[in-house]
Chain A
């Protein structure tokens, strides 16, 4: 169905797409006409830049154009990874419900590693205090009631490393293929 998922040769993004990706990896320029600015840098038209960005959004290569708030700086300092052992038959249905909660910022099904790690549903909860995280996890627990075979909250205590996505320049990437 999805041409990108099927494409064997890496990308789903062609040379011009990749140039736009590289040019915007650090963000959009803060000038009155940011897409024109990128177009000038790359020697293509502004219409082309906008069309490519829109098309990459439609193909899911770009999730969206917008801002990413820094949770910590905005006071959301309690970051709890709530993890759940959910019946495999129920996990997709429950994952959709939990993901839709406004305080859950990521929600994934992941493999268990028994016996140390029995959890298959991950729901990241951001809040201002641990108490607030716990209240929200209690709310999730009440939704999951019958299918929750055990859960835990794993807090981050320290950021050991944090970098953004880094993509090689188009030429370098080609050599790596």
Chain B
């Protein structure tokens, strides 16, 4: 993966828009006025940053739990010789939003996101039945305030 180069304006846009994008009639024009440029330039910068992968998303960020959905983080202790097979079994579930290999005895960590809370237990049961492994379910009990953002 190549490093991405940005100029000063790209950097300012990334840092500023992590904090929020205006909900107004002319939002790009508003952002442009912060940086002394024009609307079209802001639109094309954001487009380029999405295209080159510097940004993974532009728009509303949803909290699925507030829409009645549920999320959990869960882990598996997967024997090394079964890692590929178990990855396929786990990833096949559409409720698995993210899955990472990690450096611990619990070596596979995935996020389950479902439209209703009771589906979490059902998906976990299925994964246990399919893999023959115990799923360590680590739902968040408390979310602590996240102060800042990634400054680049």
Contacts and interface: CB of A to CB of B under 8 A. Distances in A.
A30 B103 CA distance: 39
B104 interface: yes
A30 B67 contact: no
**Main SS class of interface, B:** mixed
A57 to B, nearest CB: 8
A69 B26 contact: no
B147 interface: yes
B101 A105 contact: no
Given A66-B19, A70-B54, A76-B150, A81 B66 contact: no
A65 B59 contact: yes
Contact of B60 (A65, A154, A173): A65
B103 A157 contact: yes
Nearest to A83: B104
A95 B141 CA distance: 12
A176 B67 contact: no
A98 to B, nearest CB: 7
B12 interface: no
B104 to A, nearest CB: 5
A155 B56 contact: no
A47 to B, nearest CB: 9
A1 interface: no
A19 B115 CA distance: 16
A101 B67 contact: no
A159 to B, nearest CB: 6
A84 interface: no
A41 interface: no
Contact of B21 (A66, A81, A154): A66
Contacts of B140: 108-110
Contacts of A30: 43, 46-47, 58
A32 to B, nearest CB: 6
Nearest to A34: B27
Contacts of A61: 62-63, 66-67
Interface string A98-136: 111110111111110100110000100010000000000
Contacts of B19: 64, 66
A74 B146 contact: no
Nearest to A100: B147
Given A12-B68, A69-B18, 15 more contacts: A10-B115, A11-B67, A21-B67, A66-B18, A67-B13, A67-B57, A100-B147, A105-B146, A108-B141, A113-B136, A116-B105, A154-B102, A162-B97, A163-B98, A167-B62
